[in-house]
Structures are given as structure tokens and as C-alpha cells.
Structure 1
Amino acid sequence: MKFGTKVIHAGVAPDPTTGAIMTPIFQTSTYVQKSPGQHKGFEYSRTHNPTRDALQKSIAALENGKHGLCFSSGMGAIDALIKLLSPGDEVISTNDLYGGTYRIFTKVFAKYGIKFHFVSMDDPASIEKYINDKTRLIWAETPTNPMMNIIDIKALAAIAGKHDLLLGVDNTFATPYLQNPLDLGADLVMHSVTKYLAGHSDVVMGALVVNDDRLAEDLAFIQNSCGATPGPQDCFLVLRGIKTLHLRMERHCQNGKTIAGYLRHHPKVDKVYWPGFEDHPNHDIAAKQMRDFGGMISFSIVGDKQEDAKKVLENLHYFSLAESLGGVESLCGHPASMTHASIPKVEREKVGLTDSLIRLSVGVEDAEDLKNDLAAALELI
């Protein structure tokens, strides 16, 4: 089944009771049993819900995975993953990652005795010196947030396999339309479903996808026991959003290429970070493991003044100044004070996240309108 067919049909089926083509919203907390312990697979909606089950099957199919698990947020999904570990275990993470992930690693789980190493993964072989008998997990984002660094998933998978480690990949920026980490050897894929999968800025949700039965069983135990599960209304909205994922992503990629090229030649723009440029670090890896280069772009201002970045952000019109990304509408943000404020300034600057860096989530509007919007705002500095 091709991807464009998967987004419409994979994991979903007409309702057997009514024939409804759209998965119903099973807005219920509990299910009637004929006799104690005798039920049709559903007993309580924290454990299972038919709407959520359909979504989990759909997301698993998109990632060419066997098991999907949905959570109330992307952070809820990461929380469940780290709960697989024990005090004394160690994690090797990319040093350029979403601020919320850095925060939960360092402010929540570190105090329970889990140690995190934040390292560059531009050259996967360089991480082996951090591996010891306590290492359990390698965690990567690619492209990274917000510097758009590209990490070789297949190379990381080889290292993880050699040392019997789990490899988890945050695939939020790429989406399964552009990249499938499980096919490249990853053990686990995470999505902030809030972003491109839902696609309309009206849902908060996370997901994990795995192939291993035991890993899925362990994660499902945590999902049920800890209870960070999404409601059926949100699951319905994501199922609806997924049906246009391929169409939206095609336009995101087209507009991303246009806007990245425009910014690169603007005299007031210093650096532009977009993996589609041939001189972007590890572009050759991106070209191999991705099908296109996406609609996420970061850029810095000549002179690197935060006040200039602020002026640009405050004067954009079609790019709305807001947290999050991946919706049909274009968004802009200031990572240093918004999405990555929880990361110390010295650590941010190590990866190039300067005070003037602006992150764009390029939407599906007309590209000329978006260019004109950026031109007018940049003219003010």
C-alpha cells in the first residue's frame, strides 16, 4: 500500500454497527460486561478505547511499525519511554534537541538517578566513547530542533545494535511522509502528534511506534498504569488530519524550499538552516534517508541582536508568533526565549542557537504572500 493510500485507509475500517465510514467518537469511560471479566476487549477507556485503537493502528501503519501507542502529549510519550529505565541507567542524547525534552531529562528524570549525556551526533561514531555497561538508550532527533542538524539513523542503529542498546528517534519534524526510522534500524519512533500528524493546531497528543512485541507490552503497561492517554475526541481529530498528511506535507516542502531560498539571499539574514541546501551539514545523509526536506527553517539575523529578531517576529502577519509547529498556518518563534528557554544559554550557544535565531514553521499558504510578509518585517531592522 502506497503512502497516499495508507493515510486514508490504514488502521481504519467502517463501523461494523452502522457502516459509518469515519471512525466514531466513542465518548465513554466504561463498557458494560455480560459477566465479571467477560468483555469484548474494552473495559475502561484509560486502557482501551475504540477511537484511540484505530488511531494507534493508523500511526503504526504510517511508520511501517507493528504497534502504536498514543499519549496525551509528546512529552507524555517521552515520559513513558524513560520510565522503561531504572536508577543508574544512562542515556546518550543529541545535544541539539527540543527544550521540553531537555527539561524532562534534566529536571525530572535525572533526580531519579538516570544519567544523560548530551553530545553532537553529526558523526555517529563519536558517541561510542560515551557508551558503557550502564548505557541503555540512544535518543536522537533528525532534523533537530531548531538547528535542523541531520543525524544518520542507520549508522546510529548499527552502533545501538553492536552494544545492545535501544535507539529512539523523534520523527516529529520529518513525519512518516519524509522518513521512516524503523526501516533504518531504530527500535522506537516518537511523534509529537500535535504537530504535522494532526496538522491543524487543535490537538495536543504524542505517540510511540515500535515493532518489538515485548517493548510494546512494556510501554502499554506504562501507558495504562500512568494514565497519560488522549481522549476520543482528540483521537478523532487526528484521524481526520492524517487523511490529508501527504497533501499537506507536499505543500509544506514546496513552500519550505521557496522560503529557505529567499532568506538565503536576503542581505539582512546571516545564516539559514534548512537540510535541503547542498552545503547543509550532512545534506547527503538527508538526501538518502528523507524523501524531501520539509517546511521547518531556522535563520539568524546579521549582527545577532535579539532586539532585531524581536522586531521581525512582532511585525510578521501571515507567520503567527506562537509556540508549536506543523499546522497548516505558518508560525514563527524565538527559540532562545520560547521553545528552548529551559536550556542554559551556554548550552544553547554551543550548538549555534543564538539570541537572534528565528524558527519558522512554513505553512501551506501561498508562498509569495509568505515571502512578502518576511520582506516587510525584515525591512524594519
Structure 2
Amino acid sequence: MTILIVDDNQVNLFVIEKILKRAGYADFLSLKSAHEMFDYLQVDSPQPIETSVDIILLDIMMPEIDGIEACRRLQNIPHLKDIPVIFVTALEDSNKVAEALDVGGIDYIMKPINKIDLLARIRVGLRLKYEKDWHKMQEEKIRNELDLSMQVQSSLLSEPVESDHLTIKASYLPANKLAGDMYYWHRIDERRYGIILLDMMGHGITASLVCMFISSVLRDAIRKHTDPVAVINEMNHWMSILNKKENQIHYYFTAIYMVIDTERKTLEYVNAGHPPGFALMDEGEVVSLSKGTCPVGFFTEIKVEKTVIHYEDRIQILIFTDGVMEAIDREGIDGLGKIKEIVSTRWFDCEEKAPIDLVMSSELQHDQPDDMCVVVIQAN
């Protein structure tokens, strides 16, 4: 622990040093100007340097740079702004004292120095420093855990598929480090793929944890069942287990799950309360993938309806989460209509652009309040 005493008056430095020594504080340093304090703290260093200073006793009236200006500068330096500053002053001007506290000082003590007052304020300042340091450590720990969780969540997402007869690609833009959107696909056999895009209720840590739980059981469900109806029912079963009666929060998610068969030229899908998605057919017709059921987890038992689409030569499918549609809506444009129009105009070149770039500008992809995910499937 280090206490800095900054005062241009040698007598004041001597008095404070004597009080600190008698109180058992051995680690302190006396400096005669704000310049010396800045040099000691290395404020002009190009790289932030961690300091062991726990408290600063700072005189208000000093030549060149007074205590108020010195404190103001410290407050603009991220790694120094949390050091408690106690002003030491002979001024009885309440406006000056108020200004000193407004720029970041936590307290002040009047000259001549009263030993009891000084030591009491130092104890308060040290407790404040300890609490701030503890909170910074906890915040750093949380940031590290969030970074690890983000890496785990990202590792659960499927890699792109690029083969002679099938292309599957996705864009994934979480609003925060952790997201409630998820996509996954699984090769059922040589001709069939199961593909799901889901959007968990809510955002952030809670939604992502539930999303990761569903991801684990989803993989088993897709491997066990080839029928989209069976997969959605299986997911609803697990959500019912998660949604116990005593839980205060009821979790659910919307999803589109589909099985595409490149040999039989069929698309089977279930839409569980999700934005519709669109399929561009051979002859240029755009089919809305809207028929289905309620969101997964709404009820213990749900009625699931499957739709089968046949195509002759090729099909292009674009599915997305509601954050994409809402981001376009905020520009004063009908998001759903705009996406349908984009799908209907052309066969996408997925080698040149990421799926999200096909439906919105790069400017719209940042600082959005909701997670955004776009998946493009092309089969021929």
C-alpha cells in the first residue's frame, strides 16, 4: 500500500509524514508538485502502467498546476481515475472546495491538519479503494468467463457446407457477447441434411445458457429422428422439462427445422412460431415458409404440422431471425417485404458475399439491440 502526499509546502509534508508514521503507515511518498506526481505515476507513458498507489493526499493551492487541475487530469486516465484523492486545503472558500469534489475528489481536510480527521479520512479512502479494486477484479473475471462462454457457444455452430449439390452458409451477429440465436445442421445420409435456425426468448447470458442446453439435446434429436415433426416434438419435450412449475421464468424459442433431400428434390419443414423465411423455386416463384405451429416450449403438448415442398431443378432458401427483419424495419422499410423481394430477384452468389450482406447494408449490421442470424441454403 502506498500513500502519495503532494504539497509544495515542506512544513505540511513534514506534519503529515509524522502523523502517518505514528499511525503505523510506513509506505508513503512525499512530492512537492503536481509535475512530480505525474512523473511518479508515469501519466505520459504510451502504455498504461499499473500503480500500487492506494490514496493521494493532494494540496489544492500549488504553483503551475493546482490540485483541482491535477485531479481533473487523473480522472481522464482510466487506470488512475479510481485512486481516491483527498484534498488538503487552507481555503475556507466553499465554492472552491465544491469544485475540488466535483472534479473527482472523495473528501477534503482543512489545514492545520487534525490527526484524528486525517486518519479517519484515510481509512475511508482505503476502504473505497479496496472495494473498487475488488469490483474491478470481479468485472475482469466476468469478462474472462464471458469470453470463454462466447468461444464455447461459437464452437457449437456448424461449419459451412459446400458440395456439388448443396451449399449451406450462415452469418451470426450477436447483439452482446452471448446470444440467443443458434443454427445447426447435420448430414443425415448422403442425400439428406437436417437444418435448424432457432431464436431463444431474451438475450444475454440466460438466453445463451438455455440455447446451449437445447443445442446439446438437439444434436441427439436430429440423429435419432429424420422427420421434422418428431424433432420439434422432442425439443418441446425437453423445454417442458426445463420449464418447471416453480420456475419464475418460462423459456421458449422459435425455430425453423427442415430436411432437404437433394436426390428426391424435396424440402420438408416445420415453422415453430418463427419469421417465415423464403424459398426461390425453379420457375422464379417465391414460397413463404410460414406454415407450422406455436413456439417450442409454449405448452407441454403442441400440435406440429409439417409442410413438404417439391422442386424440379434447384431451390434457394433464406431463413433469418427476427433481429434481421426488425433492423430493416427501423430504417422505415418493411423488413419482411424487403427480404422477400431480395430473395425473388436472383440466385445468390454465396462465394462473394456473406449471407447477412445479401439482405442488409454493413451500416445496419452494427449496434443493433437484437441478435441477428441469416442462413442461406442452395440445392441443385
TM-score category of the 2 structures, normalised to the smaller one? under 0.3
Q: TM-score, normalised by structure 1?
A: 0.24
The structure with the larger Rg is 2
Q: TM-score, normalised by structure 2?
A: 0.24
Asked which structure has the greater RCO (Cα within 8 Å, sep 6+), the reply is 1
